[in-house]
Amino acid sequence: MEFDTLAFLIGCLVGVFVGWKINDRFHTTLTTDLLKTVGVTESDLRKAITKLQSDLPGSEEVLPGVEVRVECVDNQLYVYRLDNMEFLCQGANRDDIINCLATRFHKDFKIIVSEEHGAQYLKPNPTN
């Protein structure tokens, strides 16, 4: 009798897949039945999950951000990434820069500008 390696490998893969699905179904059914027996509803579980998520330290949403440098040359503002000095945008005033950055990055993105890197140019009343 000849040993067929390909058939053996396919049989092993099918066995692992079927066993995985049976195990998953067994545990899901067991957990669901156990929770029903104890009297825990789906809304109770959702409340518990929400409470646990809010109790976790550092669970506040942190927006991704990029540090930038703002330069003013001939009454024109230029914005560069601080880490690699990539040019991001330019504009005549604060509103132009904010609109340009808002269109370039999605709304859940934070732009970080320190005082030594030109934050005064992005204040409502900039000082030169």
Residues 6+ apart with CB under 8 A from 67: 81, 82, 83, 112, 113, 114, 117
Domain coordinates in residue numbering, the chain: 5-55, 65-122
Strands 65-73, 110-112: parallel, antiparallel or unpaired by DSSP?
parallel
pLDDT in tens, 105-127: 766 677 888 888 888 888 876 55
pLDDT in tens, 22-55: 999 888 888 888 888 888 888 888 888 888 877 7
Model confidence at 61, in pLDDT bands (50, 70, 90)? Answer: low
- Per-residue tokens: 53: 């998520």
User: Which stretch of DSSP H or E encloses residue 38?
Assistant: helix 5-38
93 or 126, greater pLDDT: 93
Task: Please tell me the pTM assigned to this model.
Answer: 0.49
